[in-house]
Amino acid sequence: MADLSDLIAQLPKTELHIHIEGSLEPAMVMALAARNGVTLPYQSADELAALYDFDNLQSFLDLYYQATDVLQTEQDFFDLTWAYLERCAADRVVHTEIFFDPQSHTSRGVSFGSVIGGITAALAKGESELGISNQLIMCFLRHLPEEDALATWAMAQPYLAQIAGVGLDSSEHGFPPELFQRVFAKAKAAGLKCVAHAGEEGPAEYIEQALDLLHVDRIDHGVRITESEALMTRAVDDNMALTVCPLSNVRLCVYPNMADHPLLALLDRGLRVMINSDDPAYFGGYLNRNYAAVAEALQPTAAQLIQLVKNSFLASFLPAEQQQHWLAEVDRISASLS
C-alpha cells in the first residue's frame, strides 16, 4: 500500500473549512500594522505567536478579532488571500471554499467592496495562475444580533454573483442556530448554499437546529455529533458532510490530544467527514499539516486516508462532473503510488 506521506503530498485535495482571516500569519500582522499605521499591543511576530496558547474557542477569537484590525485596504485582503493560495498550491489543494467575516471589517469602517474586491481579485489570479478553483462563503457572526446579519445580507446584494454561500461562525455557546432563521431563509431563497458551524463546542442539539431550522447543506465541525446516535444515523442516511478541523479541535481543547479525535470513528461509521485547517495561522498549519497530524496520531490506513480526500470532493460545491474528474485523479494517483 502507498506511503501515507506520499499520498498526502501528491493527492489533489479540496479545503472546505478555512477562514481567510485565520490565515493571517503573525509576520503579516506586523507588516500590515506597519503599512497601515496600526498600533498593536505586541512588538514582534514572535511575541504575538507566543500568545497562541488557547483554552477554548473564545480565547482564540479574542486574539483573532484583534489581529484582523490590521486588514484595512483592498490590497491587504488581496495579499492575505494570495498568501493562502500559495500555501494551497504547495499542499496540492486544487479547490478551496473560503469563509470571510464581513462584519469584523465593516464594523471598523472598512467597506464591504474593499473586502470582497481584494479577496476575489486574488481568487481570480489563483484560478488563472495556479489552477485553483474556488467558492466564497460569507459568514455571519453569531455573537452579534440577527439584525446585524440582516444588514450585512443587504450590503452583500450587489456582490451576490461572487458569493456561493452563507455560513455562521464565532462564539457558539449561547448563540444557537435558531437565532438566525430569517437571514438564512433569505440566503436560501436567493439560491445560495448554506452552512453553519455547529457542534464544535456547542451541543449536538445545535447541529439538529442547523439542519432543521437553517436547512444547511453542510455542517462545519460537527464533532459533537458523537453524542447523538440518532443524529449520526440521520447524517449517514442524508450524506450530510461534516467539515472537520483536527488541529483546530486540539488547539482549542475540544480534545486533549489528537489521539482522542473521533475523525476515523466517524469515517468508519459512514459519515462524510474530511480534513480542513480552519484557522491555519493560529492552529499549527495548513491542510497537509492537518493530514500529517492525523496520520501520525490516528494511523489511518491508506484506504481511510484516500476516503477522507474523496469526501473533500464529494462534499464540495463543485459541479458533479468536476467532482468526478478529481475523484478519478485521486484513484489514478493512489494506484500509481501503491
84 half-sphere exposure, CB direction, 13 A CA radius: 34
Centre a 10 Å sphere on the Cβ of residue 212 and count the other Cβ atoms it contains. 11
For ligand ADE, the binding residue among 134, 170, 312, 316 (CB under 6 A) is 170
Please give the residue whose beta carbon sits closest to ligand ADE in the complex: 169
In the three-class reduction of DSSP (H, G, I as helix; E, B as strand; rest coil), residue 169 is classed as: strand
Single out the catalytic residue among 200, 205, 296, 321: 200
Which lies closer to ligand ADE via its Cβ, residue 57 or residue 275?
Answer: 57
For ligand ADE, the binding residue among 13, 95, 197, 261 (CB under 6 A) is 197
d(CA 313, CA 220): 15
| Residue 15 interacts with ligand ADE (CB under 6 A): yes or no | no
For ligand ADE, the binding residue among 79, 97, 200, 208 (CB under 6 A) is 200
CB of 123 to ligand ADE, least distance (A): 19
Question: What are the grid coordinates assigned to 32, written together?
Answer: 500590515
Binding mask 102-131 for ligand ADE (x = CB under 6 A): ------------------------------
| Residue 278 interacts with ligand ADE (CB under 6 A): yes or no | yes
Task: Show Cβ contacts of residue 328 under 8 Å, excluding neighbours closer than 6 positions.
Answer: none
In the three-class reduction of DSSP (H, G, I as helix; E, B as strand; rest coil), residue 59 is classed as: helix
Residue pair 251/261 in contact (Cβ under 8 Å)? The answer is: no
86 catalytic residue (yes or no): no
| Residue 25 interacts with ligand ADE (CB under 6 A): yes or no | no
For ligand ADE, the binding residue among 13, 18, 19, 33 (CB under 6 A) is 19
* Closest listed residue to residue 95, CA positions, set 210, 15, 177, 204: 15
Task: Show Cβ contacts of residue 109 under 8 Å, excluding neighbours closer than 6 positions.
Answer: none
Which lies closer to ligand ADE via its Cβ, residue 67 or residue 318?
Answer: 67
Contact residues toward ligand ADE (CB under 6 A) are 19, 22, 57, 169-170, 197, 200, 248, 278-279
